[in-house]
Amino acid sequence: MARPEQVLLLEPQHELKFRGPFSDVVTTNLKLSNPTDRNVCFKVKTTAPRRYCVRPNSGIIDAGTSINVSVMLQPFDYDPNEKSKHKFMVQSMLAPPDMTDMEGVWKEAKPEELMDSKLRCVFEMPVENEKAHDMESNKMISSSLLKSDSSALPGKSLSSTLDDGVVKEIMEECKRLQMEAQRLREENKQIREDDGLRMRKSNVMSSQHASVGMKKEEGLSARMMALIMLFFVVGVIVGKLVL
């Protein structure tokens, strides 16, 4: 007896495509839709169970709803000359109204109740992907080299890797910094000149005060000597008068 036609709608219908590179896990999605008015049980099987991880690999799709199944291909060494022989099968059946044990329902299911759809696996490594991958790798290498050797690169070659707008901003910033440095040097020079002038004025004023003080002391000494001589002369005259 022929099996009934699949009630689930599969997207994609016939092929599961996996796009490289295959050095890491590659995931593709399988959409299962239930257009009927009854719940449908499903299972996803593969001829290479060790090469794939399927989530979810079984369950129930409610009436009028859909579910996305993630099919994850494990990393492997890709050979473009080797064609994939892997296949997937989506098996389904209408869920009984009073179902409580899904595993028991699958075990007790009759062959004429089971529906299935088969899909083959296709591995692709498009030229565009290879070029993009190579360009990304080259870009990362160039970026690392630029960071490590930027101190040794002349300014012209470094600026050639930047946008004109960025180069202009950098040149304007350098010019502004040079002007700022020049202004600081002039201010520093003016401060040193002002300090020297203040020191010279201070020395002059100190010398003037010292000379004035010396003159005052000399004047006092002269007055004292004059007074002493006056007292001496007066004393001599008085002494002669008394004698």
Average pLDDT score over residue span 128-148: 54
Instruction: State in Å, rounded, how far the first CA of the chain is from the last one.
Output: 181
Higher local confidence (pLDDT), 20 or 174: 20
Stated pTM of the model? 0.52
Domains present along the chain, CATH in parentheses:
9-124 (2.60.40.10)
User: pLDDT grade, residue 43 (50/70/90)?
Assistant: very high
The more confident residue out of 90 and 82 is: 90
Give the per-residue pLDDT at 147. 56
- In this predicted structure, which of 90-94, 112-116, 192-196, 199-203 has the lowest mean pLDDT? 199-203
Q: Which DSSP string do the residues of 54-91 spell out, in sequence order?
A: EESSEEEE-TT-EEEEEEEEPP----TTSPP--EEEEE
| 169: amino acid identity, one letter | E
Q: Omega of the bond prior to 56 within 30 degrees of 0, cis?
A: yes
Mean pLDDT on 207-215: 58
Instruction: Report how far Cα 24 is from the mean position of its chain's Cα atoms.
Output: 23
Give me the pLDDT at residue 193, please: 77
- Alpha carbons 64 and 239: distance in angstroms, whole number: 153
- Calculate mean pLDDT across residues 103-117: 92
Res 199 pLDDT > 50 = yes
Query: What is the side-by-side strand order in the sheet with 52-55?
Result: 9-11, 26-33, 66-73, 52-55
Helices (H), the chain: 102-108, 127-149, 155-159, 164-242
Which tokens in the block code for residue 243? 């004698």
The torsion angles phi and psi of 162, rounded to 5 degrees, stand at -105, 165
